[in-house]
């Protein structure tokens, strides 16, 4: 629905964005893949194998080429297994908590209640808290074993204080991250609930559907889509959780894949190993992304 002229201007208008995103996506990724096959450590006193001396990378003895060694070391590093486990546990539990809690909260907020907007504001607030703040607030003020608010509650109940980050770092992180993401699920599911056709509701009332079957046959199918969207988008973000672990200093025991890559690269200066980890993270993310893209792509047709 446009003329040739507007279409060619359109192409020029899209070009900067496409170019920028193309470079942003392809250059670092290509370098990561390249590095992942190199023996490349920033602490090497004689860094023949570095970014700025590409010739050295191809020299005779190929002493820079690591082949699959980086992958071998990364994948056989016990830390990798732990990181993978932590990554998946984190994603799984946060999804369960945020989707279940978010759905219940959204259903509650969709009822006729006094001050709905005020409650809504309180419920979604955590989503706007920057990750570093929520990390410190939870670690110190909520979960501190001596002066933390939770410790005060458990002690008042006679349960004794729990040192969350010392004894249950994974649980602590899950609680914290769920607190941040449940509002997101709530907000999206609530938006979907409120878009439910009033006339359909009235038609169901006319048909005499009891509340439970109304929920099961009307609301649940209506929510299937937003819930899927929530799951997919949260998965993408949760796979990349970093600041919460970094700031609470729980990387040692609750560190996930991003943290391990960070540790390899910027703390141990093993560029090759970190890059191999990065490639693995990319592959994992792509599996999740594949399903999300299909969802959104379908939506685009409508």
Q: Which residues between 61 and 100 bind other proteins (CB under 8 A)? A: none
Minimum distance from residue 23 beta carbon to other proteins (Å): 8
Instruction: Please identify, using beta-carbon distances, which residue of 61 and 286 lies nearer to other proteins.
Output: 286
140-155 burial: b if 16+ Cβ within 10 Å, else e:
eebbbbeebebbeeee
Task: Choose, by CB under 8 A, the member of 43, 52, 60, 212 that binds other proteins.
Answer: 52
Task: Choose, by CB under 8 A, the member of 56, 96, 133, 166 that binds other proteins.
Answer: 133
Instruction: Please identify, using beta-carbon distances, which residue of 93 and 271 lies nearer to other proteins.
Output: 271
Binding to other proteins, residues 7-46 (CB under 8 A):
7, 9-11, 13-14, 16-18, 20-21, 24-25, 27-29, 31-32, 35
Task: Please name the residue that has the structure tokens 């990181």.
Answer: 83
Q: Print the binding letters for residues 171-210 with other proteins: x by CB under 8 A, - otherwise.
A: --------x--xxx--xx--xx--x--x--x---------
Task: Choose, by CB under 8 A, the member of 68, 96, 166, 296 that binds other proteins.
Answer: 296
Task: Choose, by CB under 8 A, the member of 75, 79, 119, 218 that binds other proteins.
Answer: 119
Minimum distance from residue 174 beta carbon to other proteins (Å): 15
- Only one of the segments 57-65, 73-81, 214-222, 284-292 lies at the binding site for other proteins (rule: CB under 8 A); that segment is 284-292
Does position 111 interact with other proteins (CB under 8 A)? The reply is yes
The size of the interface with other proteins (CB under 8 A), counted in residues, is 116
Instruction: Please identify, using beta-carbon distances, which residue of 57 and 239 lies nearer to other proteins.
Output: 239
Does position 254 interact with other proteins (CB under 8 A)? The reply is no
Minimum distance from residue 29 beta carbon to other proteins (Å): 6
C-alpha distances (whole Å) from 272 to each of 56, 63, 177, 297 are 15, 13, 30, 36
Instruction: Please identify, using beta-carbon distances, which residue of 3 and 76 lies nearer to other proteins.
Output: 3
Instruction: Please identify, using beta-carbon distances, which residue of 93 and 178 lies nearer to other proteins.
Output: 178
- In whole angstroms, give the CA distance from residue 107 to residue 121: 16
Pull the structure tokens for residue 292.
Answer: 């999300």
Q: Print the binding letters for residues 233-252 with other proteins: x by CB under 8 A, - otherwise.
A: x--x--xx-xx--xxxx---
């Amino acid at each position: 629905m446009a003329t040739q002229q507007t279409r060619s201007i359109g192409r020029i208008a899209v070009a900067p964005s496409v170019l920028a995103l193309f470079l942003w996506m392809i250059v670092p990724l290509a370098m990561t893949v390249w590095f992942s096959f190199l023996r490349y450590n920033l602490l090497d006193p004689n860094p023949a194998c570095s970014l700025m001396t590409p010739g050295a990378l191809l020299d005779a003895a190929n002493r820079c080429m690591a082949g699959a060694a980086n992958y071998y070391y990364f994948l056989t590093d016990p830390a990798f297994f732990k990181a993978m486990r932590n990554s998946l546990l984190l994603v799984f539990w946060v999804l369960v908590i945020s989707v279940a809690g978010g759905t219940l909260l959204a259903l509650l907020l969709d009822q006729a209640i006094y001050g709905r907007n005020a409650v809504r504001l309180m419920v979604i607030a955590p989503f706007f808290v920057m990750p570093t703040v929520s990390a410190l607030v939870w670690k110190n003020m909520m979960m501190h074993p001596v002066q933390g608010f939770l410790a005060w509650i458990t002690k008042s109940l006679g349960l004794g204080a729990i040192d969350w980050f010392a004894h249950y770092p994974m649980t602590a992180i899950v609680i914290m991250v769920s607190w941040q993401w449940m509002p997101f699920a709530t907000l999206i599911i609530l938006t979907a609930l409120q878009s439910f056709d009033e006339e359909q509701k009235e038609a169901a009332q006319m048909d005499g559907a009891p509340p439970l079957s109304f929920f099961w046959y009307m609301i649940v199918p209506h929510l299937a889509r937003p819930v899927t969207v929530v799951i997919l988008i949260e998965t993408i973000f949760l796979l990349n959780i970093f600041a919460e672990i970094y700031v609470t200093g729980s990387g040692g025991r609750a560190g996930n894949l991003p943290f391990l890559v960070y540790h390899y690269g910027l703390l141990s200066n093993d560029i090759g190993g970190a890059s191999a980890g990065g490639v693995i993270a990319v592959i994992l993310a792509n599996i999740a992304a594949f399903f999300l893209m299909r969802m959104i792509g379908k939506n685009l047709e409508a």
